[in-house]
Amino acid sequence: MGGLSQYNDAVQAIKLAILRSQYQAAKSTNATQLALYYAVGGFVSRNTREGMWGTGAIDAISEQLQKELPGLRGFSARNLKYMRTFFEEWSTVFNGSVDVSALASAEIEPDLLLRQIRHLQVPNCSTPVPEEFFCIGFTHHRTILEMAKTIEERVYYIKLCAVEHHSVDALKAAIRKNDYQHRGKIANNFLDTIPTHAQALRAISVFKDEYLLDFINVEELGVRDEIDVDERVLEQGIVHNIKNFIMEFGHDFAFVGNQYHLDAFGEDQYIDLLFFNRGLNCLVAVELKSGPFKTSYLGQLSGYLSILDGFVKKEHEENAIGIVLCKDVNKAFADFVVRDYENPMGVATYKTSKDMSEELLRALPPIEELESLLEGGDA
């Protein structure tokens, strides 16, 4: 690669920025690194987009950086281009609020940029750039920029990764399943039945309106006919794949049991699936229904929740929440009728592998990849 000397000023500028950021690493490694990448990306963008560097400049600069900083990782030509994309995508969101006037010169100030970015307002966020922005790695950011196209989606997945500590593979799976479109859309009465507004909003954000139970293969469960796919068969599939179910349901859920026995006033009743959600600090009862939603399901579930609150929940816990998980629902209708109940409940749908289109199945990660994720530890 010829012409390295003509980019020597650029190499020295990036090198100085790297060394400066390393001094700050002990204080705030991830935020400092992201600010560095944003600054370097802006530097590369200004010089390449405005024609100040010639063809092959990024490759030449990367090669010289490796020579001057042996063992340096993350500054390949490809990554420098990713940094440019990182800057270009987010700088449009910041609407020129970041002073990037020096980014085409030999002075790169990632610390200054970091201070500026922390006070910016992102559209559809109630606060400045969410602190979660600085809590996830550059590879997560790169994946979000590649796979999520709107600012609302990107902010959602940034927060999701920060809160649920998603690996890059888990993040890709969430985006493929379109979690952004399904989270917080469940038919529910939480705002009317959960005492505090903040807790109600938290509950709404926890549940999705549709769950993809792609790990349930009806044929493998020994079902002879589609009519035989009843609640107990579905329950069996979930219990046998409980890690997978919790992975789809959410990382804060702990499995308490299936066919959970309630004994009150001499009446024996059984909840299909019972979980505990650490974030909500409450029991979550899930009733499985193999057909479309019926209003009678809410009455049955409401009775279970009353008994859980009166006889099962601990003193420090919040009241239990119930979820009806069925094959199909008219969301507007479910939203209307659930208002009549005093116990917090929601209605969601599910799809098994048999119900999914070939296109969706191809978009989901292969079962081997899902299993390798689960090997990393319990949900």
285, exposed or middle or buried, with CB in 10 Å at 0-12, 13-18, 19+? buried
Percent of the chain with pLDDT over 90: 38
Residue 203: pLDDT above 60?
yes
Please state, in angstroms and as integers, the Cα–Cα distance from residue 27 to each residue in 137, 174, 347, following that order.
16, 31, 45
Does the pTM exceed 0.85? no
* pLDDT tens per residue across span 274-330: 999 999 999 999 998 888 999 999 999 999 999 999 999 999 999 999 999 999 999
Domain ranges of the chain: 4-181, 185-374
Structural tokens at position 129: 């750039």
pLDDT tier at 194 (50, 70, 90 boundaries)? very high
Place of tokens 């689960």: 374
- At residue 127, the pLDDT reads 43
**What residue type is 315 in one-letter code?**
E
Overall fold of domain 185-374: Trna Endonuclease; Chain: A, domain 1 (3.40.1350)
- At residue 376, the pLDDT reads 43
* pLDDT tens per residue across span 36-76: 888 888 888 888 988 788 889 999 999 999 999 888 889 99
- At residue 9, the pLDDT reads 80
Distance CA 307, CA 320 (A): 10
- At residue 38, the pLDDT reads 85
Q: How many CB atoms lie within 10 A of CB 112?
A: 15
